[in-house]
Structure 1
Amino acid sequence: MIFDGISGSMGGKETIIVSVILATLLLVVLSIALGKQKSRNSVRASRLPPGVKGWPFIGDTLNWYLSISSSHPPRFVEAHVEKYGKIFSCRLFGRQAVVSADSHFNRFILQNEGRFFQSSYPKSFRDLVGKNGVIAMQGEQQRRLHGIAVNMMKMDKLKFHFLNDIQVVLLQTLNNLQENENLLFQNVCRKLAINLMVNQLLGVTTEAEINDMAHLFSDFVNGVLSIPINLRGFPYYTAMRARNIIISKINKTIELKKHSELETGNSVLGRLLNEENLSDEAVADFIISLLFAGNETTAMTMLFAISFLSQSPKALKQLIAEQDGLRKAQGLMLTWEDYKSMHFTQCVIDETLRVGGIAISLMREAKENVEYQGK
């Protein structure tokens, strides 16, 4: 209205002059505002470790993703450490990030979990794991869900259910391998891990169901740390589609178990429905987060164990000798007492977990500005 009044009472030349003045004033105001914002950003940036911003929004995400998907995952960190030092800044998943390869600083972060730092994951991770996933939760609710997960693996359950189930799944997986087939051991480990996880968590036993879940879960995992672009052809889109199908399968299984006259069974899902007061949505998120947490770590641990043993013939020979000493008659399963007597096997497992480094990174968010060693 004001501009209409001015235009109506002035000639063309005067209108142009007023427009120029208004445009100039607008530019001055914007310049001041942007200058203040830039100043604030500069103050914040000046307090961050040295580093590079990379491409807008994407930042270094693509380089990081290519690195962890390669045969040498530490490549991204090594290149930046060489240039900027063990603690550097960059942009990952659309956000400013500080990456640390400094063991002392990492210990400081973990020791101050809950005080100065809290778990934080990219949007793609949070969307896929779910708001009720034990990995994504904070505080008391996370402790409650973690307690449920620990309770699922109590010693009596391990003795009477898990040990026997894992032998059945292992034998089924090995029996399905073709004779004289060339195998990639990594693929065998992943297939065995997903077979075991869906069996224990959902009670799935048929080959068709397991293969279907393995395919869906492969798509799911590929999108967990992707750029959250929900368009066909992008990993995030494919992963979210796989998640929806997996959740649908979990919900159908929940309904079947609820309306079945038979006992809900020994699967984790069955025990959750029997023992815990959780909503169906929370149960589904809980199961999918355990699938994610357990599948890749189990597969990688087995793969690392074989890799390390192949480099240590003496240890491999001792392990085989211990296993041969416990061979059972055909059809008989190993017992809990057999497992406890495998002292060298336990040493191999412990050393694999120590050296293997299954988790390549942890993600934490500062709850407030933090100074470390005066920086």
Structure 2
Amino acid sequence: MKTMEFGWILWLVMVFMCSFCAVFVAVKWVLKNVNKWLHETQLGEKQYSLPPGDLGWPFLGNMPSFLRSFKSNHPESFISSYVSRFGRTGMYKAFMFGRPSVIVTTPEACRRVLTDDVCFKPGWPQSTVQLIGNKSFIGISYEEHKRLRRLTAASVNGYEALSTYAKYIEENVVSSLNKWTTMGEIEFLTQLRKLTFRIIVYIFLSSESEPVMDALERQYTTLNYGIRAMAINLPGFAYHKALKARKKLVATFQSVVDERRNQRKEFHVLPKKKDMMDALLDVADENGRKLSDEEIIDIMLMYLNAGHESSGHTAMWAAIFLEQRPEFLQKAKAEQEEIVKRRPPGQSGLTLKEIREMKYLSKVIDETLRVITFAPTVFREAKTDVNISGYTIPKGWKVLVWFRSVHLDPETYENPMEFNPSRWENYTPKAGTFLPFGAGSRLCPGNDLAKLEISIFLHHFLLHYQLERVNPGSPVMYLPHTRPIDNCLARLKKCPTSSA
């Protein structure tokens, strides 16, 4: 009798478990298809020409797997999972940052999306636009962008501007490097970011106030961490902290704008030295309309954020990579020594002409930009239905241009994870295969200034200094940008033969 009762209990347990598993599978299937029903079925026949892929879980989409991959030591696993499941198609549908999206990973598709202003517009997540600003370059129309780019181009990348900035950059690089040798263990990346931020603040605001720059740089660090975080506006989350940092930055810039306007009213004259703030205050359209305070502040906030992060990180990685590969370091150093040797008597400091003669150093910088891929992706949005490689990108869908896949493609770059600046010798990359600053009309406006900063820094670093990392095996994190977890804790020492 007891055996029979036990059998019935066992049978009931098995029925319950089977029922539970069936319900679990059914619920999972429903949840996995919610986004498909919401965003694909309404497309009608167009849904059948979408790229392969999946839209992930409701609301979250594919973000959990994206964040999991980029918080591991293998961020490429995010795209490789699509390749293993759907083949090497180069385009994949996904649900990213709250919107149905298409990820493009081939040079041809990336170039098309970046250069076709008729079919695509900026498509940054609304959370990012809220942090950078509705009136910044990522939030304004094509026509407004073109007008403001014309305004700012000469002040940032023009020959005269770069020649002027070179001297100031060099002075700060020389003094900073010398100072760091006296500080013992330093976070090399932190010090580089402070240096590049000091330079960009001077260029754009003519300010050299150390307390002001330190306060601004701290707020920018917080802002930057929130840009690629999930948009959770609750205390303790990166996005919430970033919104608070933006408020403080806006208040600071508003006080600068107010002060400049008051100076102009009081003295009734324009300043002899015009910085970017002055240029933005002066510009007017064909009807005489000047920029509002909101427009000026958002543009400045965007420029100062973009203008120091990439330079600091790239300079750090170039120094690390060169120290790891002595054969490349010696070749780069020999070029810098030759430039100094050819210098006419009486010349002190670098000239723009000399910097443009640094052919091998330019290859070092390009290779560093390729390997680290500072910005893994940029966002666009389809303005109309677009067909690329036989697949449809529906109107209103986001497009993620995946730079990492392009720069680390073994079919384009042999041993892509290896740092090898010599790969650029007698090699011109095909269109779309090298996109460190983007492409098309929205190419990064400060690319020449960034390379100028990095070149000047590496010139003096190679000639006179060596880097000794405290934790050479430090793990690397990839969000918001690729960096050692310890921010490259190191000692900077003068080379034994250096007279600097």
TM-score under structure 1 length normalisation: 0.78
Q: 1:25 aligns to what?
A: none
The reply on whether 1:360 has 2:362 as its aligned counterpart is no
| Post-superposition offset of 1:272 | 2.8
Whole-Å Cα distance in 2 between the matches of residues 336 and 39 of structure 1? 57
Matched residue of 1:109: which SS? helix
CA 73–182 in structure 1, closer or farther in 2 if over 3 Å, else same? farther
Q: Paired residue for 1:269?
A: 277
Q: Does residue 173 of the first structure (1) align with residue 176 of the second (2)?
A: yes
Tell me, yes or no, if structure 1 residue 339 matches structure 2 residue 355.
Answer: yes
In 1, distance between residues paired with 2:388 and 2:78? Answer: 24
* 1:50-65 superposed matches below 5 A: 50-65=52-67
Q: Alignment length, in residue pairs?
A: 339
1:216 correspondence with 2:219? yes
Give the secondary structure class of the aligned counterpart of 1:53: coil
Q: Which amino acid in 2 is paired with 1:120?
A: G
One-letter amino acid of the counterpart of residue 96, structure 2: L
What is the alpha-carbon distance in structure 2 between the residues aligned to residue 243 and residue 372 of structure 1?
38
- In the alignment, structure 1 residue 123 sits paired with structure 2 residue 139: no
The one-letter amino acid of 1:52's match is: D
Per-residue deviation at 1:64? Answer: 1.9
Counterparts of 1:1-375 in structure 2, within 5 Å, are: 39-40=41-42, 45-85=47-87, 86-111=90-115, 113-152=116-155, 153-159=157-163, 161-177=164-180, 179=182, 181-260=184-263, 261=267, 263=271, 265-275=273-283, 277-325=290-338, 326=340, 332-353=348-369, 357-375=373-391
Deviation, structure 1 residue 122: 0.4
Shift of 1:156: 0.9
2:439 counterpart residue number: none
CA deviations on 1:221-245 (whole Å, 9 max, x unpaired) are: 1111233332222222211111111
- AA aligned opposite 2:64: L
Structure 1 gap ranges (5+): 1-34
Higher-Rg member (1/2): 1
Q: CA deviation at 1:38?
A: 8.6
- SS at 2:387 equivalent: coil
Which amino acid in the other structure matches residue 167 of structure 2? N
Could you say which structure has the higher helix fraction?
Answer: 1
CA contact (8 A) 2:49 2:390 kept: no
Q: What secondary structure does 2:58 align onto?
A: coil
Secondary structure at the aligned position of 1:233 is classed as: coil
AA at the equivalent of 2:314: T
Q: For the structure 1 residues 98 and 321, does the alpha-carbon distance in structure 2 shift closer, same or farther, using more than 3 Å as the test? A: same
CA distance in 2, matches of 1:66, 1:177: 36
Aligned-partner Cα distance in 2 for 1:202–1:74: 39
Higher strand proportion (structure 1 or 2): 2
Deviates more, 1:235-244 or 1:47-56: 47-56
Q: Which stretches in structure 2 are left out of the alignment for 5+ residues?
A: 1-36, 285-289, 392-500
Distance in 2, Cα, partners of 1:143 & 1:36:
36
Residue identity opposite 2:226 in structure 1: G
Please say if residues 116 and 367 of structure 1, whose CA atoms lie closer than 8 Å, have aligned partners that are also in contact: yes
Contact 1:124 1:223 in 2 (8 A): no
Question: Counterparts of 1:117 and 1:316 in 2: how far apart (Å)?
Answer: 42
User: Which residue of structure 2 aligns with residue 18 of structure 1?
Assistant: none
Shift of 1:147: 1.6
Asked if the contact 2:133–2:139 (Cα under 8 Å) also holds between the matched residues in 1, the reply is yes
Amino acid at match of 1:270: D
Residue of structure 2 in register with 1:26 after alignment: none
Name the SS for the 1:363 alignment partner. strand
More displaced 10-residue stretch of structure 1: 270-279 or 221-230: 270-279
Partner of 2:451: none
Assess if the C-alpha contact under 8 Å between 2:121 and 2:142 holds in 1. no
Work out whether residues 257 and 264 of structure 1, in 8 Å CA contact, stay in contact via their aligned partners in 2: no
Residues 184-226 of structure 1: CA deviation (Å, up to 9, x unaligned) = 4333332322222222222232322222111100110111123
Q: How far did residue 274 of structure 1 move?
A: 4.2
Q: Residue 37 and residue 173 in structure 1: after superposition, are their counterparts in 2 closer, same or farther (change >3 A)?
A: closer
Distance 1:346 1:40, change over 3 A: closer
In 1, Cα distance between equivalents of 2:282 and 2:175? 28
Distance, in Å, in 2 between the alignment partners of 1:53 and 1:243 is 32
Cα pair 2:40 2:47 within 8 Å, conserved: no
Cα 1:65–1:295, aligned 2, differ >3 Å: closer, same or farther? farther
- Which one is further off, 181-190 or 358-367? 181-190
User: RMSD of the alignment, in Å?
Assistant: 3.2
CA distance in 2, matches of 1:242, 1:36: 35
Measured at CA, do residues 158 and 180 of structure 1 come closer, stay the same or move farther in structure 2, by a change above 3 Å? closer
Aligned-residue identity in percent: 27
> Does structure 1 conserve the Cα–Cα contact (< 8 Å) formed by 2:200 and 2:304?
yes
**How many angstroms does 1:366 deviate by?**
1.5
- How much does 1:321 deviate? 2.9
Partner of 2:28: none
- Residues 47-75 of structure 1: CA deviation (Å, up to 9, x unaligned): 42232332321212233234345554333
Q: Counterpart in 2 of 1:31? A: none
Work out the CA distance in 2 between the residues paired with 1:264 and 1:66: 52
Q: Counterparts of 1:201 and 1:214 in 2: how far apart (Å)? A: 14
